[in-house]
Amino acid sequence: MWTITKPRYKNRIRDEVEIVVNIGGVKLVLYQHVLNRYPESRLAKLINCSTKSYDIISSLCDDYDLSKREFYFDRDPDAFKCIIDVYYFGEIHIKRGICPICFIKEMDFWKIDQSHLDECCRRNLTEKEEELAEIANKVKLILDDIDGHPPVNRSERAQKLIWKLMEKPESSLSARVIAVASFLLVLLSSVVMCVGTIPDVQVEDEEGKRLEHPTLEAIETACIFWFTAEYILRFVSSPNKLHFSLSFMNIIDFMAIVPFYLVLTLTYLGTAVMDLAKVQQAVQALRIMRIARIFKLARHSSGLQTLTYALKKSFKELGLLLMYMGMGIFVFSALGYTIEQSHPETLFSSIPQSFWWAVITMTTVGYGDVYPKTALGKCNAAISFLCGVIAIALPIHPIINNFVIFYNKQRVLETAARHELELMELQSTEDARKDERETGAQCALGCSMRTSRSDSCIPLLQKSTWTLKSKYYCSGTESS
């Protein structure tokens, strides 16, 4: 045990009231004029009532020794070292290694308002609260899969079973097989689409036009029927049809199967409405939309989803990259056009045409179709090349850093959600056994509404999952 003492001021009032607080073994001498700067705080109330009522003293501290004027608190001393600074400096900084959520509970205990937190610490607290909200959402989704709303009839049970089979690969072996089959069919349809454009594989019709091989068309048709049945089953079994229809991944799924049926409709019915040439042009444009099915792979790949979220978080860096590249393209294309006008065989016919040269030069592609022929033009090309390398390299590190942070964060959140579920299951089992021994099944049902030990320390998580926990505990008690 060691003591921290604040310096005594020369102009301090003589015989001023002082107290000694013992916070988890750490002693600190505090003075009345310092504590009264925040009269609503616990310490200010303690020093002002220390000579009046012992009952109030007992309600403000865990224990006390009147002979030494020492008050004991069973609290975190590291957090208190940060909180006490508000009396001297008017603001609080959270030290590294202290959980922000637990620190807020310490501030509430000492009755210090959160507005005294510094801005940087407030942002850190907001991030932690967002992480806890994500953990609560993950726990809620898992609990929905485990129990959720029990189906009351056969149709609801069938709907829930189909939803798990189509949307939750981790729920059963059958659902995992369906997910793998869907993934392989997406790859197969993409390969068939590419192979079908090879002239040696194509066949000729009566008019001498090249068409896709009938075998490839049959494979693609089978894949489309699978995708259609999958989409319909997922839509029918979805608990929220509107949310399902507006989901980005579901829109991609819809766009991947619609072109097939539009082409089919135009092929057999379009000639009666418009000319054959226009029908063929429309069919060709719609067949290009088949490339959207490759994005279906993102549904089965957590890495692609993580990359998408990382790019969303990096919009600022990507915007800076586009701004730098746009300015460089404009400047170097204008310089290249102006410099190369003196050469009789110049390839720079206009500034907009020079944009293409600037793009392929700054991105280090260099096709060679447009190039400078004068010495000054070559110097301009070299400078544009170097500027392009620097402009592309600068935002790359923040984008990669965002990807790594988001990927690690997702892994931590998933681990925390699984840990929370394990604690809930353990607590529910212990409560059920204890209640069965003491008061029987009726008391067990009532006590199963308790929260787990970890939730008692995290109010946000407790608030988000309270109801679902209760259902989960009740179902566990009845099954036992």
Mean of the per-residue pLDDT values of the chain: 76
d(CA 82, CA 461): 25
Closest of 193, 202, 174, 396 to residue 296, by C-alpha: 193
Question: Is 106 or 264 the better-scoring residue by pLDDT?
Answer: 106
- C-beta atoms surrounding 158 within 10 Å: 13
Closest of 305, 315, 372 to residue 342, by C-alpha: 372
Closest of 203, 227, 233, 199 to residue 215, by C-alpha: 203
- C-beta atoms surrounding 474 within 10 Å: 18
Q: What is the predicted pLDDT for the residue at 359? A: 92
Range scoring the smallest mean pLDDT among 233-247, 257-271, 433-447: 433-447
Q: What is the predicted pLDDT for the residue at 141? A: 66
pLDDT digits (tens, 9 = 90+) for 198-241: 888 888 877 777 777 888 888 988 988 998 998 899 899 888 88
What percentage of the chain reaches a pLDDT higher than 70?
Answer: 74
Q: What is the predicted pLDDT for the residue at 258? A: 82
Q: What is the predicted pLDDT for the residue at 272? A: 54
**DSSP run (H or E) holding 159:** helix 154-167
Enter the CATH code of domain 3-117.
Answer: 3.30.710.10
Q: Give yes or no for a contact between 29 and 20, defined as CB atoms under 8 angstroms apart.
A: yes
Question: Is 450 or 399 the better-scoring residue by pLDDT?
Answer: 399
d(CA 249, CA 305): 10
The SS3 call for residue 268 is helix
**pLDDT of 174 higher than 50:** yes
Q: Give yes or no for a contact between 372 and 378, defined as CB atoms under 8 angstroms apart.
A: yes
- Which residues make up the CATH 3.30.710.10 domain(s) of the chain? 3-117
Q: Give yes or no for a contact between 166 and 250, defined as CB atoms under 8 angstroms apart.
A: no
CA angle 72, 78, 84 (to 5 degrees): 70
- Which residues make up the CATH 1.10.287.70 domain(s) of the chain? 315-394
Q: What is the predicted pLDDT for the residue at 43? A: 86
pLDDT digits (tens, 9 = 90+) for 307-341: 777 778 788 888 888 898 999 999 999 999 999 98
Quickly name the fold that domain 315-394 has.
Helix Hairpins (1.10.287)
Quickly name the fold that domain 159-300 has.
Four Helix Bundle (Hemerythrin (Met), subunit A) (1.20.120)
- Which residues make up the CATH 1.20.120.350 domain(s) of the chain? 159-300
Closest of 406, 455, 398, 450 to residue 429, by C-alpha: 450
